[in-house]
Amino acid sequence: MDSFLRILFSSLETGSFYALAALGIIIIFRTSVIQNFSIGAIGMFNAFIATYILMEWGVPTWVAAIIAMLVAIIVGIVIDFAIMRPSKKVTRINKEIMTLGLIIIFIGISPMIFGVLPLKFGRFIEGSMKILGIHVDYNTILNISIGIIVMVLFVLFLQKTKCGLAVRVTASNETAARLMGVPSKNITTAAWAVGAALSTLAALMLAPRITVNTAMMNGVQVNALIACVLGGFQTFYGPVIGAYVISLGRNVLIYYLPHLGIEWLDSSWADPILYLLILLFIVIRPNGIIGKKIIKKV
Amino acid sequence: MKTREINSYTSNRKTNINYMIFGAVIAILPLLNGFGIIQSSTMTILGTVMFYSIVAMGLTILLGFSGLVSLGTAGFMGLGSYMAAYFTEDMKLPFLLSLLISVLVPVIIGVLVGLVSLRIEGYYLAIATLAVSEIIRRLFDIDKFTHGYSGKNGNYPIIFGLELDKSYTFILITIVLVLIMILSNNFLNAQTGRALLAMKGSEAAAQAMGINLLKYKLTAFGIATLYASLGGVLYNHFVNYTYPDTWNLLLSLNFIGIIIIGGMRSLSGAVLGTFIVFGFPELVLKEIPGIANIDGLQYVMSGVFLIIIILFYPGGAINIFKDIKDTSKKVLQKILKKPQEAEVGS
């Protein structure tokens, strides 16, 4: 029971990293119809900025985090203005490869500005408490709650506000949205800003567990992409569910695989087995957990 | 119809001869290296560009001609590389036998992925191939076969008792590259290529025309993995070292980047794209004084360059040559026309 609770808390925590990144991917996907491969790199770059601010200015961790997220919003807007808007004639997959160019730029530029040594970004709060007989760090609880609060706010924003309606309209049909007077260009820019900020938040929540380095978001990026596929691209909440499912599945496999008593089967096989299961799931349900079937017209 | 086929046959032969000339020019380079005109590091980079080109051509056929996405290229390439290393280093098998096995196994897996592609498409297929690649990549951590994170050493190939050195391996890669280009050119300009293109245009229409989707999807995936693993084998025998983290998602994305930069539906585009992505930063950007002085700027510039090319040449950099030809023609015409106009004016 103890171990299960531990797995549950850990899964909720890592799940919120994946879910935030997946939200960043899906909001950009829905508004500009491109798969953004660079969301992890953007988060990584801004995590460097937060760490730099933390070390140079000596401000509290949360102040550094907020400044980094503001920078991320600017980064997102700049990317949209500099690259996505001029590329009207460029096809979808070419735009996706441009985000690959962005990865190269961010991975190249970070060590140039901040040095090659791995940096440490502290936790938001220290200490731990006892829940149902196991020790849980305050920081874990904070991460879980940030994840859930952001998700709830996001869904409320999309469903209840006028801006959210504009986002949904743009997502379902951009041309029609523009005809109806929705400023779809501004919506896309805002989506890039929000996506970058969400990814930065995920990176900063992840940062205390590992060091801040150029490869820190690779795992999150891959898992967030897979979460989007698992949850389906048609809804905003599908990828979030996918993210938590992946996180839980991964942690359960990591914990229980060595307990199966098979000699060579250690926890490093968790990811391959998880991916294999997801692969089988996609083959059986090609549109993901929540995915609606898109009827193709010939 | 008959004349058209004959035309395509002759133009096809012309392209093949061009490929051979291209290969012959490149095969001279080791000789120049022997004279000290070309540096050894330049040779290494060009060799790298060549085996990456083979892999990229596989993706040209898969994505450019058949419209199927794969994010698993790096995994298959790595598999070929590791298998070649294991068979020649640990099991001491002859080069050609090891080549055969280390290409065959990835192809079988690739064909299985092709079966998956019958059911899912687009991003779902991309992620499915990514999953396959990640599973393969995890196999590289098994210490017993791969030496895990200390990396695995390889060797230069031995063909029929003849031990090749670096220059000869370079020539071997060139020969393989030209053979692959000719082979691909031939079947892409024949029935297979037309069937693949029809499938890319519309699967339903292709099916209605009597094209067997199963057959051609499996063919496309088989060829792509064949080229990827072949590139991996050559990688191992040329670089002589392979490391688990080389074969990650970024490399697979790089290959998609290559064929988009070079030109989606052109074999020479794949080679040009590979040169731009892997050769250009090392050979050209490094030589520009301002960039070479600052550490890492060269890497950043290659990213900027990638974006600029896609922004201005959405159809691929292979069109640059056409544009140069057209503009030079225009300029020539202008120069030739001007005196005549002056005469008329007077």
ipTM of the complex: 0.79
Q: Which residues are within 8 A (CB) of A30 and not within 5 positions of it... i.e. 6 or more apart?
A: A167, A170, A171, A191, A233, A236
Q: Which amino acid belongs to residue B216?
A: Y
The H or E element containing residue A232 is: none
pLDDT digits (tens, 9 = 90+) for B285-319: 777 777 666 767 777 887 888 888 888 887 778 88
Give the distance between the most distant pair of CA atoms in chain A: 63
pLDDT digits (tens, 9 = 90+) for A236-257: 888 899 999 999 999 888 888 8
Residue A294 confidence (pLDDT): 63
Give the other-Cβ count within 10 Å of A162's Cβ. Answer: 6
Q: B interface toward A at CB cutoff 8 Å?
A: 69, 116, 119-120, 123-124, 127-128, 130-132, 134-135, 138-139, 141, 202, 204-205, 248-250, 253-254, 256-257, 260-261, 294-297, 299-300, 302-304, 306-307, 310-311, 314
Q: Is the pLDDT of residue A265 over 80?
A: no
Contacting A residues, span 240-259, partner chain B, CB-CB under 8 Å = none
The nearest alpha carbon in chain A to B138 belongs to A272
Alpha-carbon distance of A141 to A4, in angstroms, equals 16
Select the residue of A108, A222, A233 nearest B296 (Cβ to Cβ): A108
The nearest alpha carbon in chain B to A107 belongs to B300
Q: What is the CA radius of gyration of chain B?
A: 22
- For residues B61 and B255, the answer to whether their CB atoms sit within 8 Å is no
Q: What is the CA radius of gyration of chain A?
A: 20
Report the SS3 class of residue B158. Answer: strand
The nearest alpha carbon in chain B to A106 belongs to B300
Of B139, B131, B111, residue with least CA distance to A278: B131
pLDDT digits (tens, 9 = 90+) for B143-159: 777 777 777 887 788 77
Q: Is the pLDDT of residue B2 over 50?
A: no
Please indicate if any CB of chain B lies within 8 Å of the CB of A167. no
Residue B254 banded pLDDT, cuts 50, 70, 90: confident
Q: Residue A272 has which token pair?
A: 């391959």
Residue B338 banded pLDDT, cuts 50, 70, 90: low
pLDDT digits (tens, 9 = 90+) for B159-203: 777 777 888 888 889 999 999 999 999 888 888 888 988 888 888
pLDDT digits (tens, 9 = 90+) for A122-181: 777 777 777 777 777 888 888 889 889 998 898 888 888 888 888 888 888 888 888 888
Q: Is the pLDDT of residue B13 over 70?
A: yes
Q: Which residues are within 8 A (CB) of A126 and not within 5 positions of it... i.e. 6 or more apart?
A: A138, A139
Contact call for A286 and B120, based on CB within 8 A: yes
Q: Is the pLDDT of residue B346 over 50?
A: no
* pLDDT, mean over chain A: 85
Best of A100, A228, A274 to substitute, by most chain B Cβ atoms within 10 angstroms, is A100
Which residues in A lie closer than 8 A to residue B303 (C-beta atoms)? 101-105, 108
Predicted model pTM = 0.82
- For residues B11 and B19, the answer to whether their CB atoms sit within 8 Å is no
Instruction: Tell me the mean pLDDT in the region B269-274.
Output: 90
Please indicate if any CB of chain B lies within 8 Å of the CB of A262. no
Q: Is the pLDDT of residue A268 over 60?
A: yes
Of A6, A17, A33, A30, residue with least CA distance to A223: A17
Alpha-carbon distance of A267 to A270, in angstroms, equals 5
Its sign, for the CA torsion A14, A271, B225, B42, is positive
Select the residue of B123, B204, B253 nearest A229 (Cβ to Cβ): B123
B151: left (phi over 0), alpha (psi -120 to 50) or beta: left
Residue A198 confidence (pLDDT): 92
pLDDT above 90 as % of chain A = 17
Residue A197 confidence (pLDDT): 93
Torsion of CA A25, A31, A34, A35, to 10 degrees: 10
pLDDT digits (tens, 9 = 90+) for A93-111: 788 888 888 888 888 888 8
Report the SS3 class of residue A130. Answer: strand
Alpha-carbon distance of B62 to B126, in angstroms, equals 12
Contact call for B134 and A271, based on CB within 8 A: yes
